[in-house]
Chain A
Amino acid sequence: MSAVIQIERAGPMTTVQDTGRRNALNHGVSASGPMDQSGFACAAAEITTSGRSGIEFTTSGVALRLLSGNLKIGGAGGKFFAQLNGAFLQWPLNRELVDGDVLDITPGPTGNFGYLRFDREMDIPLIMGSSATNTRAGLGGFEGRSLKADDQLSFTGKGESAPAPYHINPERSDPIRFIWGIHADLFDHDVRQNFVTTPFQVSGQMDRMGIKLNDARPVFAAGDNLVLVSDPVAPGDIQILGDGTPIVLMRDHQPTGGTHALPPF
C-alpha cells in the first residue's frame, strides 16, 4: 500500500535529496546531494530500512501530514525539535506515522541542515539518474524546485537496508583540515600564514551553492579581479571573490570557476 504525505510548512531551502548525481559534470551539472552527508546517512540508519531519497530542511524546519497509508520516518542531522500531533519526540527521530498524523520539525540548539528519511521509495522521477534537487540548475527533486506547503509526495515499494553511517560528534570543534588549492600561490606568504592562524566565522549567508565566511581581520583584501582560465572546482573549495570575501563552495556549486580558488577540503 502506498503512502502520501503533504507538506504543511517548508522553509525556503527544503529539498528532496539522494546521495547525488554522478557522471553529470560532463554535462555541466554538479552532483548536488545532501549538505550534511553524515546527517543524511544517520537519518536512514534510525529506521534501518530506507528509500534512497530524503528531505533536507534548514533552520526553518518543516512540517508534514500523512494523508494516507503508514510510513516509518527517520530524522537526524543537527539537533532539531520534533513533535508528533503536538507531543515532543526524541531527536534523532524514529517513528511510524499513521494517516492523519502531523510531524512538525522546528529548529533546536544546533544544526543548519536536518534530514527526514522514509522506509519506502519516494515516487519521484530520476533526472540523470538521481532524485537530488539541484537548486542552481533547477532540476531534479520535486519539479526542479524547493518543496513548499501543499506539495504532495507519494511512497511505494520498500526501501533498502541502510548502511551503518559514520558518526560525527556535532559537539566537536576541531580545526578543519585543508590542502592548498591550485591558485594558492597567487596569495603571498603572509596571507597564507594568516589564513591558517586566523579564525573565520560562518556567516548567515549560506545556501546549497556556498557559504560566505566572515573574515573580521581581514585576511583577504580586495584585489584586482584576476581573470583566470576556468578550471574545475569541487565542494569544499574556498573561493576568494574580487572584494576579498571568502566563499566555501557547497553541493550545488557551479562545475567550473575562474575566481581565486584557495583550498579544497
Chain B
Amino acid sequence: MADKIQELRPKIVPLGDRALLVRFATSLSAEANAAAIGFAQNLADAPPQGALEIVPSLVSVQINYDPTQISGSQLSAELSLRYWGMKAEPSGPARTWKMPTRFGGAAGPDLEAVANSLELTVNQFILAHNAAELRILATGFAPGFVYAGFHEANLQVPRRAKVRDHVSPGSILFAVGQTAIAATPIPTGWHVIGQTDFRNFDPSMQPPTKLRAGDRLIFEAVS
C-alpha cells in the first residue's frame, strides 16, 4: 500500500483564485478515495502556510488558501512535496459506528423496488446490504450528508429516474454501489430504503458532524 498511493499521480489544479484542488482520479475508486482521505489528514495534521481549509472529497482534496500569505503556485509546489513524501498508513485507527435502521415500509418506500430489481427478496437484500464492509467515503453535498461504500457488484442499482424534492433527515439512501445518510431535508435522486434516528448534523455542537471520512459503518435492522 505504501508505494501504491503515490502511483495515483494526482493533478493539482486551481479552483478559482484562492483554492487548489488535488485530484486523485476522475472517477470513484477505493484507492483514490483512500488517497484523498489520507492526504487530507496529513495536511490537517500540519497545515501548509497560508492554508485556511482542508476539505477531503470523494476523490480529491480542496485546499482554500489566503493569497496574501502564499501564491497558488507556491502552495501547489508545497502540496506536491508533501504528497510525494507522505506515508500511506492512515494516521489513526478507524472508528466504527453502528447505525440502527428501520428498513422498508414508510421509512423506506423504495426498498421493495430496489430488492426486486436485484432479484432478491427484501430480507435477502437487507442481509446483503448490512453485511457489506462500509466506510464513510466523504461528507458533502449538504450539511452532514455522508456517502458510504462500497457494495459488491451484485448490489449495484442506478439512481432513480425521478428526483424526490424532499426526503427527511435520517433517510438511508441507496444507489451506485453506495449507501448515503441524509442529515437535513434534501432533494435526492437516490432510492430511499430506510430511516435512522442518528443525526449527523447539529450546528450547536463542536464539531457539528460526528462521522468522518474513513470511519467504518455497520447498519443494523431494527423495527
Q: CB distance A128 to B16 under 8 Å?
A: no
Question: B177 interface residue, CB < 8 Å from A?
Answer: no
| Interface flags, B1-39, vs A, CB<8A=1, else 0 | 000000000000111110101010111100000000000
Q: Give Cα A179 to B20, complex, Å.
A: 12
Once A25-B53, A264-B14, A264-B15 are accepted as A-B contacts, the answer to whether A232 and B143 lie under 8 Å apart by CB is no
Contact of A230 among B13, B54, B58 (CB under 8 A): B58
Contact residues in A for B14 (Cβ distance below 8 Å): 179, 264
Binds A, one of B96-104, B109-117, B200-208: B200-208
Contact residues in B for A189 (Cβ distance below 8 Å): none
Contact residues in A for B141 (Cβ distance below 8 Å): 28, 230, 254-256
Contact residues in B for A23 (Cβ distance below 8 Å): 52-53
Q: From DSSP, what is the main secondary structure of chain A's interface residues?
A: loop
Question: B142 interface residue, CB < 8 Å from A?
Answer: yes
Q: Give Cα A264 to B209, complex, Å.
A: 28
Q: Give Cα A27 to B62, complex, Å.
A: 13
Contact residues in A for B204 (Cβ distance below 8 Å): 127
Q: Give Cα A251 to B14, complex, Å.
A: 18
Q: Give Cα A233 to B57, complex, Å.
A: 11
Once A26-B53, A137-B143 are accepted as A-B contacts, the answer to whether A234 and B15 lie under 8 Å apart by CB is yes
Question: B60 interface residue, CB < 8 Å from A?
Answer: yes
CB nearest to B33 among chain A residues: A229
Question: How many whole Å from B61's CB to the nearest CB in chain A?
Answer: 9
Q: Give Cα A137 to B184, complex, Å.
A: 8
Q: Give Cα A265 to B28, complex, Å.
A: 26
Question: B179 interface residue, CB < 8 Å from A?
Answer: no
Question: How many whole Å from B198's CB to the nearest CB in chain A?
Answer: 15
Question: How many whole Å from B52's CB to the nearest CB in chain A?
Answer: 7
Question: How many whole Å from B18's CB to the nearest CB in chain A?
Answer: 8
Q: CB distance B207 to A264 under 8 Å?
A: no
Q: Give Cα A138 to B60, complex, Å.
A: 27
Contact of B27 among A22, A29, A229, A255 (CB under 8 A): A229
Q: CB distance B209 to A265 under 8 Å?
A: no
Question: How many whole Å from A210's CB to the nearest CB in chain B?
Answer: 15
Question: B219 interface residue, CB < 8 Å from A?
Answer: no
Contact of B143 among A139, A233, A265 (CB under 8 A): A139
Contact residues in A for B155 (Cβ distance below 8 Å): none
Contact residues in A for B209 (Cβ distance below 8 Å): 26-28
Q: Give Cα A234 to B14, complex, Å.
A: 11
Question: A11 interface residue, CB < 8 Å from B?
Answer: no
Question: A99 interface residue, CB < 8 Å from B?
Answer: no
Once A27-B201, A231-B60, A232-B62 are accepted as A-B contacts, the answer to whether A264 and B53 lie under 8 Å apart by CB is no
Question: How many whole Å from A167's CB to the nearest CB in chain B?
Answer: 18
Contact residues in A for B134 (Cβ distance below 8 Å): none
Q: CB distance A256 to B16 under 8 Å?
A: no
Question: B139 interface residue, CB < 8 Å from A?
Answer: yes
Q: Give Cα A234 to B209, complex, Å.
A: 21
| Interface flags, B49-93, vs A, CB<8A=1, else 0 | 000111111111010100000000000000000000000000000
Q: Give Cα A230 to B58, complex, Å.
A: 7
Contact residues in A for B26 (Cβ distance below 8 Å): 228-229
Q: CB distance B57 to A27 under 8 Å?
A: no
Contact of A232 among B21, B28, B184 (CB under 8 A): B21
Question: How many whole Å from B158's CB to the nearest CB in chain A?
Answer: 9
Q: Give Cα A7 to B206, complex, Å.
A: 32
CB nearest to B14 among chain A residues: A179
Question: A182 interface residue, CB < 8 Å from B?
Answer: yes
Question: B105 interface residue, CB < 8 Å from A?
Answer: no
Q: 17 pairs across A/B with beta carbons < 8 Å?
A: A25-B64, A26-B54, A26-B55, A26-B139, A29-B143, A182-B23, A228-B26, A229-B25, A229-B28, A230-B138, A230-B140, A232-B19, A232-B60, A234-B19, A254-B142, A256-B138, A265-B16
Listed in ascending order, the chain B residues whose CB lies under 8 Å from chain A are 13-17, 19, 21, 23, 25-28, 52-60, 62, 64, 138-145, 183-184, 201, 203-204, 207-209
Listed in ascending order, the chain A residues whose CB lies under 8 Å from chain B are 22-23, 25-29, 127-128, 137-139, 179, 181-182, 228-237, 254-256, 264-265
Which 5 pairs across A and B sit closest by C-beta, in order of nearness?
A: A264-B16, A232-B62, A256-B140, A25-B55, A27-B209
